[in-house]
Amino acid sequence: MPDRLPLVYHSNYVCPLPEGHRFPMPKFGLVNEILRDEGIAGDDNTFVPEIADEELLTSVHTQDYVRSFLEGTLSGDAMRRMGLPWSRALAKRTCTAVGGTLLTARLSLEHGVACNMAGGTHHAHPGFGSGFCIFNDLAVAARTLTQEGEVSRVLVLDLDVHQGDGTAAAFHDDPSVFTFSMHCQSNFPFRKTPGDMDVGLPDGMGGDAYLERLARELPVLLDAAGPDLVLYDAGVDVFSGDRLGKLDLSLSDIAERDRMVFAFFRRRGIPLAGVIGGGYDRDVRALADRHCTLHRSACTVYGIEALGASA
**Spans of all domains in the chain:** 7-302
Q: What is the predicted pLDDT for the residue at 209?
A: 98
Q: Count Cβ atoms within 10 A of the Cβ of residue 309 and give its class: 0-12 exposed, 13-18 middle, 19 or more buried.
A: exposed
pLDDT in tens, 194-223: 999 999 999 999 999 999 999 999 999 999
Q: What is the predicted pLDDT for the residue at 243?
A: 94
Q: Count Cβ atoms within 10 A of the Cβ of residue 213 and give its class: 0-12 exposed, 13-18 middle, 19 or more buried.
A: middle
Q: What is the predicted pLDDT for the residue at 308?
A: 57
**Alpha carbon distances (Å) from 84 to 25, 89, 134, 151, 259:** 11, 12, 9, 34, 33
**Alpha carbon distances (Å) from 127 to 182, 207, 277:** 24, 36, 21
User: Nearest 10 degrees: CA dihedral of 252, 253, 255, 256?
Assistant: 120
On the question of pLDDT at 307 being above 90, the answer is: no
Q: With bands split at pLDDT 50, 70 and 90, how would you rate the model's confidence at 311? A: very low
**Span 305-309, average pLDDT:** 66
Domain at 7-302, CATH homologous superfamily:
Histone deacetylase domain (3.40.800.20)
Q: With bands split at pLDDT 50, 70 and 90, how would you rate the model's confidence at 306? A: confident
User: Nearest 10 degrees: CA dihedral of 164, 167, 169, 173?
Assistant: -130
**Span 179-184, average pLDDT:** 98
Q: What is the predicted pLDDT for the residue at 30?
A: 98
Q: With bands split at pLDDT 50, 70 and 90, how would you rate the model's confidence at 123? A: very high
3-class SS string, the chain:
CCCCCCEECCHHHCCCCCCCCCCCCCHHHHHHHHHHHCCCCCCCCEECCCCCCHHHHCCCCCHHHHHHHHHCCCCHHHHHHHCCCCCHHHHHHHHHHHHHHHHHHHHHHHHCEEEECCCCCCCCCCCCCECCECCCHHHHHHHHHHHHCCCCCEEEEECCCCCCHHHHHHCCCCCCEEEEEEEECCCCCCCCCCCCEEEEECCCCEHHHHHHHHHHHHHHHHHHHCCCEEEEECCCCCECCCCCCCCEECHHHHHHHHHHHHHHHHHCCCCEEEECCCCCCCCHHHHHHHHCHHHHHHHHHHCCCCCCCCC
Mean of the per-residue pLDDT values of the chain: 96
Q: What is the predicted pLDDT for the residue at 215?
A: 98
Q: What is the predicted pLDDT for the residue at 309?
A: 45
pLDDT in tens, 147-171: 999 999 999 999 999 999 999 999 9
Q: Are 30 and 9 in contact (CB under 8 A)?
A: no
**Span 61-85, average pLDDT:** 97
pLDDT in tens, 2-50: 889 999 999 999 999 999 999 999 999 999 999 999 999 999 999 999 9
